[in-house]
Structure 1
Amino acid sequence: MDDLGIDFVDAVPWFAHEHDHPYVLIRVTPENLALLAARIGEPLRRCYITDAELNAAAQRHNLPRAEVCASRMPDAGSTMSGDFGEVLGYFYQATQALPIEAIGPKKWRLKQDRTKPAPKSDVVHFIMPNHPEPSDQDAILCSEVKAKATRGDTTPIEGAITDCKKDRTSRLGSTLVWLRERAMTTDLGDVDIPMLNRFINAVDHLPMVKRFRAVAVICNSLLENELLAAPAAADPEFTLVVIAVPDLKGTYTAAFEAAHASA
């Protein structure tokens, strides 16, 4: 369990694979969606602001917790949809690392503008079985996430694949340096500067693995048409993951309402 308050063992059933080749396909069932919806409010809010930070800000400025919370979270629209897709990608990536705990920064806390997506690589996790000591079992996980909740011209599968290549060629490296700079003045939770140094200065440490995913979170009603863009063959450099969610717009809207209510 990380500081979101989720035991990711419990979240594993949310992401049952329908098939794994040439890409991973996950259809979230109505039953599992109900489980997710019942749990997601408080963890989603913590993606943007910790309990301690929320309480301290409310007390310092004599403001309602709900007002402080609202100052950090996105308004309804494309940013909210994209953020929800990224959070779902964060949950999925954490479940895939089990039984080892994946340690990841909550980049949504680092936004300069709540109305815009967080910068750099979407979802990053660090695997260090012997943490804080490095080992040859260490790995870094990186996912590029695109979401599509309503009809339109966006192509989430193609977009995720294209931007995943950016992570592989340069963006992940710049993300790690950016996180290290933020860690100097901002509490990133379990992600600290020694951990970031281990992955930034990889040549100075034992070998480690990089694993990349292109993740498309798609409303179930749009899935069949969007799957036409899925490649016919797997790519050795990354894994494509397609997550179909019933009524994605209604789901993320309700999730953020629950997040606000949790304040």
Structure 2
Amino acid sequence: MAAERGQLRRAALEREYMRELGVDLAEVRTFFSEADNTSFVLVKVEPGRTKAWTEMLSVPARRCYISDKLLQRRSAETKQPHETILGAVIPPKGSVMAGDYGEIMTAFYLASLAHPADVLDPKMWRLKSGRTKASQGSDVVQFELPRWPVPSTDDKVMCAEVKTKSTNGHSTPVASAIEDSLKDRRGRLAKTLMWLKERAILNDLGTVEIGHLDRFVKATDHPPAVHEFRAVAVISSELLDNEISGTDLPNKDQCTLIVISVPDLKANYEELYETLLANAAVEVDSL
């Protein structure tokens, strides 16, 4: 009976995740292919599928910034169109937009790897202090709680540091992601979890609840949990070879390096955000 209740609870959580973002993680998984590489994970998005990727993500990516319910409510309260409300939270063109795109792509990719296991994500982009600013704390944080509400040693928190490079320049996304992932392991993740709990006390974090966060914030009160760290570089494909050459790789017992190659990255992230605004309208019946 307890096992059956646990299965129903996991199924309910997954339905909640799907309803909140409206994304099919099994479909997301089909957009990525991993190349054989023993030293790091090289992930490629095929050139012919970037348009379909943008179309698929247009609504889920919008919901990473603001829920349908809040978007509808603020539009009604302010008498402003949906695209005006959305324009107040999504970033302008430039480095912040590129960074957000890389983080959102990473979040969906990592969640698709865990599928069909349920993944809880606080959606850091909803918690930004301003649309021109990067997210606070660790870039991507996700939780797996397979026996929730009973804590277990199978519980997992996944933390990813993400760097994005879409144009030729002096930045070194691979080395920088590895370096900043160390900050997560040395305390930034712990501070981020505490900050998320404080935000959850004051605001609705969707599928992530205070109890989920307390399971990791109050770690000594629960069985040991798994902590996994990722250093992720999202790179425009024409820059890939130059960016992955000559980099000192991290020890795999510390963090896993993932490099995601996206064709014509700048054009693709700009197109996605244009599509977000174009599809800003939310039907009342869908809420």
Mapped partners of 1:174, 1:15: distance in 2: 32
Residue-by-residue CA offset, 1:178-215 (whole Å, 9 max, x unaligned): 00000011110011111100011111101210000000
Contact kept, 8 Å, 1:21 with 1:234, in 2: the verdict is no
- Match 1:194 to one of 202, 207, 211: 211
Contact kept, 8 Å, 1:173 with 1:200, in 2: the verdict is yes
Mapped partners of 2:278, 2:220: distance in 1: 46
Name the CA shift for 1:182/1:54 in 2 (closer, same or farther; >3 Å).
same
Say whether residues 1:11 and 2:28 are aligned partners. yes
- The alignment covers a number of residue pairs equal to 263
Identity %: 42
Q: Identify the residue that residue 266 of structure 2 maps to in structure 1.
A: 249
Q: Which moved more, 1:31-40 or 1:111-120?
A: 31-40
SS of the residue corresponding to residue 80 of structure 2 reads coil
- Match 1:168 to one of 173, 177, 185: 185
Contact kept, 8 Å, 1:111 with 1:119, in 2: the verdict is yes
Name the CA shift for 1:229/1:4 in 2 (closer, same or farther; >3 Å).
farther
Matches within 5 A, 1:38-187: 38-187=55-204
Any unmatched runs of 5+ in structure 2?
1-13, 281-287
Q: Which moved more, 1:78-87 or 1:94-103?
A: 94-103
Mapped partners of 1:229, 1:148: distance in 2: 17
For normalisation by structure 1, the TM-score amounts to 0.97
Q: Identify the residue that residue 28 of structure 1 maps to in structure 2.
A: 45
Mapped partners of 2:249, 2:56: distance in 1: 36
| Structure 1 residue 20, shift from structure 2 partner | 4.4
Mapped partners of 2:110, 2:249: distance in 1: 23
SS of the residue corresponding to residue 184 of structure 1 reads helix
- RMSD across aligned C-alpha pairs, in angstroms? 1.2
Could you list the structure 1 runs, at least 4 aligned residues long, displaced by more than 4 angstroms after superposition: none
Mapped partners of 2:278, 2:63: distance in 1: 12
Mapped partners of 1:124, 1:136: distance in 2: 18
Mapped partners of 2:225, 2:99: distance in 1: 30
Mapped partners of 2:91, 2:49: distance in 1: 25
Contact kept, 8 Å, 2:139 with 2:161, in 1: the verdict is yes
Q: Which moved more, 1:174-183 or 1:23-32?
A: 23-32
Contact kept, 8 Å, 1:158 with 1:229, in 2: the verdict is no
| Structure 1 residue 34, shift from structure 2 partner | 3.0
Mapped partners of 2:247, 2:28: distance in 1: 26
| Structure 1 residue 218, shift from structure 2 partner | 0.1
Residue-by-residue CA offset, 1:110-151 (whole Å, 9 max, x unaligned): 111110101100000001011222122101000000000001
Name the CA shift for 1:139/1:219 in 2 (closer, same or farther; >3 Å).
same
Contact kept, 8 Å, 1:22 with 1:234, in 2: the verdict is no
SS of the residue corresponding to residue 141 of structure 1 reads strand
Q: Identify the residue that residue 235 of structure 1 maps to in structure 2.
A: 252
Any unmatched runs of 5+ in structure 1?
none
Mapped partners of 2:55, 2:117: distance in 1: 25
Contact kept, 8 Å, 2:249 with 2:257, in 1: the verdict is no
Residue-by-residue CA offset, 1:55-114 (whole Å, 9 max, x unaligned): 000001111111001001100000000000000110111012122111011110011111
